[in-house]
């Protein structure tokens, strides 16, 4: 049970638990997203990512989720009564970001291209109304988890 | 104003063995009354970014017993804050918070119990099923001077384990330890257990 994002390894996170946490709230969360014409985590962000870039990209994305998306979504999590799932996802993303922090700092060569992918996501996020963007990003966690699953080894 | 005040639970502590975590506290005693308790928790993320928000425990909001199995609430290898309060009718005590935050990486890992049997000419090991977190490192050797020690990694849910073909008349020893990837730690090895295979030793 570990992630291997190119050279970066992360142990101690059980992906199945993250899936279970998201599935428990998926319908409630995605029902709030009325903008169906936009996808933040679109193909250009996550498709055909070379292994060597995967560490930077996932670190940037998860750090954004921890510092922005979860922080902004917390009142809704209370409102919708989904704190348990919220806590599982937030704390495990927090663990992954902390563990990736050291290893991704050592890799400079692939940062620029990974950064470009993250900025595609970030620009799309910024173009939406803040609350709508947070709701959409939270609802797109299944896209993120599916991509992370490719790097997961039982 | 003389209003009755319910004392808060005291002596909170967590007993954690093999990734099973139980929060305990001293019971609040009110003669001839039944006290209920409520347990809540906060992961590290909540403590950092939403410290006013606490999450009711899965099994103990409320409970009558002065303990709570919080295993299902601890879902990441981060530190958790835990608190308990007592309730009697409309009376509610103050919250008592665990003095030191709890992290599952402090759990006590015990050597696994095991049972060695023969299945035909195979050494068969039954290991204690400790749940999805646990892998086992099984070490086994033929009981003779200079014998090579073999190691087999057993994933969760792959029990019992067939080790190897054995020879009649020979003796074999086995020991095992657990490994929990979620916290990157392993237990001590169990005491070696040895068995002798029936029958005559094969001629050289």
Structural domains of chain A in order of their starting residue, each with its CATH number:
2-153 (1.20.1250.10)
Per the CB < 8 Å rule, is A66 touching B75? no
Chain A nearest CA to B137, separation (Å): 16
B102 touches chain A (CB under 8 A): no
User: What is the percent of chain A with per-residue pLDDT over 70, rounded to a whole number?
Assistant: 95
Q: How many angstroms separate the Cα of B118 from the Cα of each of A68, B12, B136, B159?
A: 58, 47, 20, 15
| Rg of chain B on CA atoms, in Å | 24
Region A132-151 average pLDDT: 96
Look at phi and psi of residue B89 and say left if phi exceeds 0, alpha if psi is from -120 to 50, else beta.
left
Which residue in A83, A84, A92 is closest to B76 by CB distance?
A92
| Per-residue pLDDT, B1 | 46
pLDDT averaged over chain A?
Answer: 92
User: Is residue A20 less than 8 Å (CB to CB) from chain B?
Assistant: no
DSSP B50-106: -TT--EE-SS-SSBSSSEEE-GGG--SSSEEEEEEEEEETTEE---EE-SS-EEGGG
Q: Between the CA atoms of B3, B6, B10 and B16, what dihedral angle is there, to the nearest 10 degrees?
A: -150
What is the reported pLDDT for A111? 73
Distance CA B154, CA B140 (A): 13
User: Which pTM does this prediction carry?
Assistant: 0.88
Determine the Cα angle at B154 with ends B197 and A12, to 5°. 155
Q: Going residue by residue through chain B (204 aa), what tens digit of pLDDT does each one get?
A: 445 689 999 999 999 999 999 999 999 999 999 999 999 999 999 999 999 999 999 999 899 999 999 999 999 999 999 999 999 999 999 999 999 999 999 999 999 999 888 877 788 888 888 988 899 999 999 999 888 999 999 887 666 778 777 888 889 999 999 999 889 999 999 999 998 887 766 555
Q: B78 contacts in A (CB within 8 Å)?
A: 91, 94-95
DSSP-derived pairing of the beta strands B96-97 and B102-103: unpaired
Give residue-wise pLDDT tens across range A103-135. 766 665 667 788 899 999 999 999 999 999 999
Contact A94 B184 (CB under 8 A): no
Rg over alpha carbons for chain A, rounded to the nearest Å, is 15
**Least confident residue range of A14-28, A62-76, B121-135, B177-191:** B121-135
Q: Which residues contact A142 (CB under 8 A, 6 or more apart)?
A: A22, A26
Q: A52 preceded by cis ω (within 30°)? A: no
The CA-CA-CA angle for residues B71, B72, B74, to 5°, reads 70
Predicted pLDDT at A3:
94
pLDDT at B133: 87
Structure tokens at A138: 């939270």
Q: Is the minimum CB–CB distance between B9 and chain A shorter than 8 Å?
A: no
Binning pLDDT at 50, 70 and 90, where does residue A59 land?
very high
Q: Do A91 and B43 touch (CB under 8 A)?
A: yes
ipTM of predicted complex: 0.89
Nearest-angstrom CA–CA distance, A113 and A120: 11
Q: Determine the pLDDT at residue B2.
A: 46
The conformation of residue B6, written as its DSSP 8-state character, comes to P
Torsions phi, psi for B150 (to 5 deg): -105, 150
The SS3 of residue A8 is strand
Contact B111, B177 (CB under 8 A): yes
Closest-CA distance, A44 to chain B, in angstroms, reads 30
**pLDDT at residue number B96:** 97
Flag whether residue B183 sits within 8 Å of chain A, measured between CB atoms. yes
CA distance B105 to B103: 5
DSSP 8-state class, residue A69: I
- Nearest residue on chain B to A81, judged by CA atoms? B55
Measured N-to-C along each axis, helices A141-149 and A130-139 cross at an angle, to the nearest 10 degrees, of 40
Identify the CA nearest to A93 among candidates A129, A68, A125, A123.
A68
How many C-beta atoms lie closer than 10 Å to residue B44's C-beta?
21
Q: Which residues of B touch A14 (CB under 8 A)?
A: 132, 182
Q: Give the mean model confidence (pLDDT) for residues A88-96.
A: 96
CA distance A37 to chain B (A): 31
């Amino acid at each position: 049970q570990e992630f291997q994002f190119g050279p970066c390894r992360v142990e101690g996170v059980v992906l199945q638990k993250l899936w279970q946490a998201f599935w428990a709230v998926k319908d409630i969360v995605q029902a709030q997203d009325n903008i169906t014409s936009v996808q933040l985590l679109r193909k250009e962000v996550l498709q055909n990512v070379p292994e060597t870039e995967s560490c930077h990209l996932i670190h940037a994305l998860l750090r954004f989720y921890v510092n922005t998306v979860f922080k902004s979504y917390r009142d809704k999590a209370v409102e919708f009564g989904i704190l348990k799932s919220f806590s599982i996802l937030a704390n495990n993303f927090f663990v992954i970001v902390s563990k990736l922090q050291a290893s991704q700092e050592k890799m400079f060569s692939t940062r620029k291209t990974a950064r470009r992918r993250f900025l595609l996501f970030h620009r799309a996020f910024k173009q939406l109304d803040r609350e709508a963007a947070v709701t959409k990003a939270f609802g797109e966690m299944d896209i993120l988890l599916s991509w992370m699953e490719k790097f997961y080894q039982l | 104003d003389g209003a009755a005040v319910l004392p808060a639970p005291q002596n909170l502590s967590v007993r954690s063995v093999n990734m099973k975590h139980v929060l305990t506290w001293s019971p609040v005693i009110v003669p001839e009354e039944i006290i209920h308790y409520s347990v809540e928790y906060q992961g590290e993320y909540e403590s950092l970014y939403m410290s006013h928000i606490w999450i009711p425990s899965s099994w103990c909001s409320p409970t009558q017993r002065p303990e709570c199995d919080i295993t299902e609430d601890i879902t990441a290898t981060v530190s958790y804050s835990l608190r308990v309060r007592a309730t009697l009718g409309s009376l509610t005590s103050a919250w008592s918070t665990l003095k030191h935050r709890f992290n599952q990486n402090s759990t006590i890992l015990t050597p696994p119990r095991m049972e060695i049997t023969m299945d035909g000419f195979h050494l068969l090991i039954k290991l204690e099923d400790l749940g999805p977190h646990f892998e086992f490192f099984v070490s086994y050797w033929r009981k003779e001077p200079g014998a090579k020690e073999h190691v087999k990694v057993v994933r969760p849910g792959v029990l019992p384990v067939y080790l190897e073909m054995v020879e009649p008349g020979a003796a074999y020893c086995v020991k095992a330890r657990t490994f929990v990837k979620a916290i990157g730690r392993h237990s001590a090895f169990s005491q070696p257990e040895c068995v002798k295979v029936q029958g005559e030793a094969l001629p050289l």
